[in-house]
Structure 1
Amino acid sequence: MDLLPPETLSVAPIHRLPTELLRSILLLSYIDNYTIGWKAGWISAHTRDIALSTPLFWTNVWVFTRTGRSFESLSEMLAVQLHRCGSILPLTVLWSTAIATEDQMSVLLGLFIEHKAPFNRWKEFRLNAHTSLPLNIPREADLGEFSSLEQLAISGIRPNLFFHYLESTQDLGALEELEFGPPSLSYDELAMALPRTVSALKRLTMDPRSALSSSLPSNIIGLICGTLTPVYHFPNLKELAVEVCTRQLTPSHVPLVTHLEIYFQILLLDNSTFEFPALTILILKCAIGDLRPLTWLSAPSLTFLRVEPVSAPIDPTYHKDAPPNTQLKFLTYLNVSCIQVHIPLNLADLGALISHFPAARKMAIPLRIPVIDGLDALLFDLFEDYDPNKRAGPSQIRHKELETVDVLAMDIGPFHKNEWDAAANNFLGRFPDTKLKELTIRCIEWD
């Protein structure tokens, strides 16, 4: 068989890329992946050379045990990672081990010391382990302090070793966020075990299965939690995300909150309105077909609203008697410039809702479009500012500031791009004298 001359052989596109560009692509492809260095080396000899010569590929260090893996294998892999990450770059450490003996903990910590990777290089630390405090740690002073730690996640039962070093750190000023959840301690137990750490952090993320049983120290300005019951006063919070709120949250509870993500599982039996003066961003999770929170949650400073389906299990009792959205008396939000509706609504419900956002510049709206030819008529009915007394002329749009509409198309049939372009141009052409200049479509499926 005759072989082709070398000059006629094609070269795979990946090997035509400049090394620096390929390095950047690999780093972006494996961002936040603890096995980036190993996986990049499996692609080809060229990518392996790149991985071995780039310490950044190895700064996500994992100390991880699994069934059938010996401690010798763990320590050897850790030594390789620490050698390849160099002695300068900050580290992200994932420590997920079963109960280790004191001698094994001494060996693992000794490897960090040997490779000049003490605690003060740890920028992010994710811990899922039960660790005791060894009686004799080699060169204990060389471990340093967690002075550069920005993010801490704890899901181990009681990692006393690391609790000791966290509390021994003199300056935890860089610590931004603490995340914890089962099977770790409760918040109260954690606050008792790590008082200095909790008093330094700025944001707290709790597992949805964890309940907050007390108020928070004044240094915490961000909270993500599963359930608020009862509701505590959080006078210093600025960001709050609640999976299920089963008690009425009032402005007095969160006077400074500017970012709120929440699902309300409550019923208001009167016509009360609660005004949240500081609120600027609201992600409102709703049961399908029940938008009643927008009839009582007032926010004069609100600029961004997204309505999306609730993901947590819900009690249908709270929604079975919800009136049609067209009968609701929605509040008007005069300063919202961007509204995103990510729940299925019929045209009448959608029209009733978006009419209360007169200053919107950007909208994402759901529409059922059986055929692409019907899109123009649907949008025209939704947005035209009809005036029966006006003489013939260009149509005006109801939202005078509207610039962009993003259609979340449901139940759409097959269509070609040129059909969509024609429908979009037809619609935009109806409003030549307005600010509306962009119309996009995304085909989606609702669960």
Structure 2
Amino acid sequence: MSNIPKIVILGAGYGGILTALRLQKELNYNEADVTLVNKHDYHYITTHLHMPAAGTDNPENARVSISKLIDEFKIDFVKSTVVQIRPQDKKVILEDGTLSYDYLVIGLGGEPETFGIPGLGEHAMNIRSINSVRLIREHIEYQFARFKREPHRTDYLTFVVGGAGFTGIEFVGELSDRIPELCKQFDVDPALVKIYNIEAAPTALPGFDPELVEYGMDVLTKKGVTFRIGTAIKECSPEGVVVGEGEEIKSATVIWTGGIRGNRLIEEAGFETMRGRVKVDEFLRSPGNENIYIVGDNSLMFNPEGRPYPPTAQIAMQQGVVCAHNLVASIRNQPPKGFTFSNKGTVASLGKGEAIGIAFGKKYKGRVAAWLKKAIDLRYLFIIGGISLVLRKGKFL
């Protein structure tokens, strides 16, 4: 038994869970000892978090119990927090123990990138986890209750979302749907509520199709969102944000969606990183460490034009599949497979019944794009949990 290779997977995000599930499928019993480590006993669907954050859905619908996904006879699940990675010792230090490994997969997820903007780390909230979206939802509701006690404080009803990438756009879409409901519940004049979406780049959804971006911004503007494009947040404080050339927007709610960096544990472990991400080789391995694979937000890969791929769920899922294949190949002394990203398309939700997207080489908008978004979500549930998970969770997505 001691000759059986030990595979440790850190993180049950998209990359980690797909790696684990594919290993579960491809490995024979007793061919490897696989351990999956995650700080929660559930996998959460990151691309769905904007809905519970705004309060348009229950946070429970965005999470799936890991025990319902894995075969406990093939994969050991350890609920713990990673404290340190020691590549030189082939060990991972957890808050309550130590794991040794022959092969390591790092998929610990990213952290908010604040770009050094003063106060952003301390005073802005982030859509990053089940717990963070619970906090945002309760915070938003609380602002309406506070306003009823202090009706001169319009900053309670001013919501600033930093970043107009996919998360920012999808969140303001849901928030603009939720506001009328909250106004009715708390008897607040909807005209007093302000939603600002602030983006430093010259366009919302940078890199996305301009025609669809224009359509999306038009839909959201009609729903009450004020865009400040080409405007940088210079500072964040408990009173709000300073933007552009010193303009102050007073707000009790600042939500930052403006960027993701890798994980500090990777930098601390001595890997060469760019903003906390490791430039992996074509087989998803860390340079100089043929037994260490890095996936998802922690990996850095470049497209044929030489630009880094954005850290999306789609690329993490595909990396997980290839990572598992290469782990099995290494154990069986077979050649590894190079990773090539296959873009299946991208869809951004704009709230209930509205979305924009590109798939199968065509542009989609409105209700058709919203249906497409739903189909993508259902496909993911099927990939990780089969038809039973689709039937259990599909109606909520």
Q: Same fold (TM over 0.5)?
A: no
TM-score when normalising by structure 2: 0.26
Bigger CA radius of gyration:
1
Return the structure number with greater relative CO, CA threshold 8 A, min gap 6. 2
TM-score when normalising by structure 1: 0.23
- Higher strand proportion: 2
